[in-house]
Amino acid sequence: MEKQVISTKGAPGAIGPYSQAIKAGHFVYTSGQLPINAVSGELISDIKGATAQSLENVKAILAEAGTSLDKVVKTLVFLSDMNDFAAMNEVYAQYFTANAPARSCVEVARLPKDAKIEIEVIALMD
């Protein structure tokens, strides 16, 4: 099976030796997306805005790969504070309105750039 690197200017560039996503077989695997606005470089700090920005970054990467949020089968959400779970979930539910993917959500001690959230996904290709 061959792998293909996915890269788009619609999401922040990698801040280390990794790709925004890898397409392999019938799946796309994204790297964790911080809530950084790709145009301004701003790190969004309020949890609702941060959740939306992380998911918009994921959405842009999936579009570049030729797939979309409705093809996501698994998400992994990292929160710096589990007290933000309800607010994150409220925004998350606006992006996954039907046939929601499987999901894990964990609290972590710290995220790059001291972000409040990071989200990665696995999506099917058409």
pLDDT for residue 73: 98
Per-residue tokens: 32:
């964790």
pLDDT for residue 110: 97
Count of helix runs (H) and strand runs (E) in the chain: 2, 6
CATH number 3.30.230.70 given to 3-124: no
pLDDT for residue 1: 79
Q: What CA–CA distance (Å, rounded) separates 65 from 71?
A: 12
User: Is 93 marked active-site?
Assistant: no
Domain locations along the chain: 3-124
Per-residue tokens: 99:
């046939």
Among residues 69, 105, 111, 124, the one annotated as catalytic is 105
pLDDT for residue 63: 98
pLDDT for residue 126: 76
Q: Find, among 19, 6, 8, 125, the residue nearest to 56 by Cα.
A: 8
Three-state SS string over 73-117 comes to: EEEEEEECCHHHHHHHHHHHHHHCCCCCCEEEEEECCCCHHHCCE
pLDDT for residue 124: 98
Q: What is the pLDDT along the chain (126 residues), one digit of tens a residue?
A: 799 999 999 999 988 899 999 999 999 999 999 999 999 999 999 999 999 999 999 999 999 999 999 999 999 999 999 999 999 999 999 999 999 999 999 999 999 999 999 999 999 997
Q: What CA–CA distance (Å, rounded) separates 80 from 23?
A: 28
Per-residue tokens: 116:
């409040």
Q: Find, among 47, 117, 34, 114, the residue nearest to 77 by Cα.
A: 117
pLDDT for residue 27: 98
pLDDT for residue 7: 96
